Amino acid sequence: MRILNQNDENFKAEFSKLTHRSDMDMSEVTPLVLSIINEVKHNKNEALISQISRFDKWEPKSASELEISQNEMKNAYENLESSLKDALNLAFKRIKNYHELNAPKTWLSTDELGNTLGAKFTPVDRAGLYIPGGKAAYPSSLLMNAVPAIVANVGEIVVCTPAVGGAVNALLLAAMHLCGIKKAYKIGGASAIGAMAYGTQTIPKVDVITGPGNIYVATAKKLVFGDVNIDMIAGPSEIGIIADESANARHIAIDLLSQAEHDELASSFLITPSQNFAKSVASFVQSELQTLPRSQIASQSIKNKGAIIVAKNLDECVSLMNDLAVEHLELAFDDAQNYVQKIKHAGAIFIGHYTPEAMGDYLAGPNHTLPTGGSAKFYSPLGVENFMKKSSIIGLTQSGFNALADACVALANAEGLHAHARSVTARVNKA
């Protein structure tokens, strides 16, 4: 794993490449994705069936074959070995507890004129969760997307997941049962996003689409944004770790690899004030790779997208990490708690020697759907608020209205909006 030093002559140029790691070029896939979505929009179920034959290696005879039954989910859940069933339940409970703390709440207040002002939060009628299948199936993604929708009290939750060869991963089915999913469909990629955005005879139109996916899914979500809401546009996963010699170098190496094993395009960064620690971690990365089942993916990722940076001190580490604005940020040093305040941009912050990122991926409680590629500078983790929306509340009393009338009329007239002004003066005259 390459080691850069903040003092190196070419450091700025190299570091700049790391901050610009996200340039996901959607323009190449946009025409294909647009044509898939338009097909679904116009030919609905028929388009879905033909697209499944094209992309998913199975041929549904009718649209009813896309439906995943409650029984399939229940059987999968009941057939889980008990330790896994317990683990899923623990994860569900912890994620639910956290998201309940984080749910937006309706509030009302009264101003000094006696007027009522506030905000009312209501769930969306229908949410669509996209859960990738293919190479790997991630039941944890289902939990992380479904639980905030459940906490938001969404009217109806719809799940789409690709079933390559027609089969859905048993653990994913079990997680659907645990989450009480009533509507789930075997459809993936841009087809699924189009179906949930515009509806077909079988799949209902939703208001919000969330969930991870490859570049086709990300592009499709961007294209339907505006007709529905979406959570964010996410790219490959990434970790940034700030650690010093108070950390265990082997642990940090494994944490870097836990990101790298996701995807050849995943990024893993360590920033440390210690040259020795940097070397030690780099050496553990090599040795741990030897015995890792997904070592091919992980070694590609480490080689092409990974970096260890040696910085002057912890404050410099923080400053560089803020520039990177990573998805997962581990602060693995003794005094970590005192540095949280200095972190400006990160999807999730993992504090101390006993908080490896994997805990957040599964069951610490916070959501694992996080902004990638530097977008932690402006996006937030998925939350209950993604499945709700706000209505402002304004209720003026007659006296409160009168006290504000002149100013309102002055502003409306200044903007040349005379009916606006008249809607106020008419009521003053009556008062």
User: Per DSSP, which regions of 156-266 are E strands?
Assistant: 156-161, 183-186, 208-210, 229-230, 238-243
345 counts as catalytic: no
Q: What is the DSSP string of 160-191?
A: EE--GGG---HHHHHHHHHHT--EEEE--HHH
CB closer to a copy of itself out of 67 and 351 = 351
> Please, which residues have CB within 8 angstroms of residue 420's CB and are 6 or more apart in sequence?
408, 412
For 281, the 3-state DSSP assignment is helix
CB closer to a copy of itself out of 269 and 362 = 362
Which strands form 156-161's sheet, in the order they lie side by side? 183-186, 156-161, 126-130, 208-210, 229-230
Q: How far is the CB of 182 from a copy of itself (least distance, A)?
A: 20
Helices 275-289, 249-260: axis angle to 10 degrees equals 60
Q: How far is the CB of 180 from a copy of itself (least distance, A)?
A: 19
Q: How far is the CB of 386 from a copy of itself (least distance, A)?
A: 10
* From 39, 238, 261, 327, the catalytic residue: 327
As a dihedral over the C-alpha atoms of residue 95, residue 184, residue 192, residue 262, rounded to 10 degrees, the angle is: 40
Q: How far is the CB of 66 from a copy of itself (least distance, A)?
A: 24
Would the annotation count 42 as a binding residue? no
CB closer to a copy of itself out of 60 and 371 = 371
Q: How far is the CB of 64 from a copy of itself (least distance, A)?
A: 27
CB closer to a copy of itself out of 272 and 301 = 301
CB closer to a copy of itself out of 159 and 223 = 223
* From 328, 330, 357, 368, the catalytic residue: 328
Would the annotation count 99 as a binding residue? no
- Single out the residue of 268, 261, 354 nearest to residue 307, CA to CA: 268
Would the annotation count 237 as a binding residue? yes
CA distance linking residue 48 with residue 36, whole number of Å: 9
Would the annotation count 259 as a binding residue? yes
353 counts as catalytic: no
**Of all helices (H) and strands (E), which one includes residue 277?**
helix 275-289
CA distance linking residue 184 with residue 131, whole number of Å: 10
Q: How far is CA 412 from CA 97, 117, 244, 270, in A?
A: 47, 21, 60, 56
Would the annotation count 330 as a binding residue? no
Task: Please state the residue numbers annotated as binding site for substrate.
Answer: 237, 259, 262, 328, 361, 415, 420
Catalytic residues: 327-328
Q: Which residues are annotated as a binding site?
A: 237, 259, 262, 328, 361, 415, 420
Q: List residues forming the annotated binding site for Zn(2+).
A: 259, 262, 361, 420
